[in-house]
Amino acid sequence: MVEGVSVRVRAAVLGAALAIVTGASCGPRDRQTVETLVGEWRGHVAWRDGTTPVVLHVAADGESLVATLDAAALGVSAQPVGRVSFDSPRVHFEVKDSAASHSFDGWLRRGLVVGSFSPLAGAGASGAVTGQRNPSLLPQLSLKRWERPTQPSPWPEGVVGGEPPVVPAPERSLGEWLSRR
């Protein structure tokens, strides 16, 4: 009988310790508000054949969010994104232009915005949704909040460890680039 109690006590203590360790390892809760998305976000649009650096500038406009997108390598500068909707953790915006219109659907978690672009219905021949599309072929976007370094980089531009130089491409709209196959 005494041994049975001892085993039960050990099991209870082990269970309590496991609960404490598991709860402590989960870290703080990721609290996100609309203000969390305001700022400069840098990252890449990835197609199946390569990636392109992009910068998303998000600003508060009253009760809503507006944004512009830069992709110097594509020749895109201050492309209006329009209204950004944020329903934590979901992020949605649309890029509309004469060539093609695309929507972005993704999420914000721990300082990262990740998701994919898809063509909008009725967006013209190059952006029309025809039948079922393979999500793995859609352009993927991943962004991280950019913070100005407190100290300048010891590396000159273009050197490993520094920012690589971006060679501007001929002027095109972002819709043309996202629609490419």
Please report whether residue 1 resides in a domain: no
* Cβ-contact 179, 127 below 8 angstroms: yes
Look up residue 159 and give its amino acid: V
pLDDT on residue 57 = 93
Band of residue 96 on the pLDDT scale cut at 50, 70, 90: confident
Structural domain including 100 reads 34-179
Tell me which residue of 131, 120, 125, 124 sits closest to 93, measured CA to CA. 120
Q: Give tens-digit pLDDT for 131-151.
A: 445 555 678 888 898 887 777
Please report whether residue 2 resides in a domain: no
pLDDT on residue 91 = 93
Q: What is the mean pLDDT of the chain?
A: 75
Give the number of other Cβ atoms within 10 Å of residue 101's Cβ. 21
Average pLDDT over residues 23-41: 73
Q: How far apart are CA 122 and CA 129, in angstroms?
A: 8
Please report whether residue 107 resides in a domain: yes
List CB contacts of 55: < 8 A, sequence separation 6 or more.
40, 41, 42, 69, 70, 71, 146
pLDDT on residue 122 = 59
Q: How far apart are CA 38 and CA 21, in angstroms?
A: 35
Please report whether residue 121 resides in a domain: yes
Please report whether residue 106 resides in a domain: yes
The CATH number of residue 143's host domain is 2.40.128.120
Judged on CB neighbours under 10 Å (0-12, 13-18, 19+), 148 is exposed
Please report whether residue 165 resides in a domain: yes
Please report whether residue 137 resides in a domain: yes
Say how many domains are in the chain. Answer: 1
pLDDT on residue 162 = 52
Please report whether residue 8 resides in a domain: no
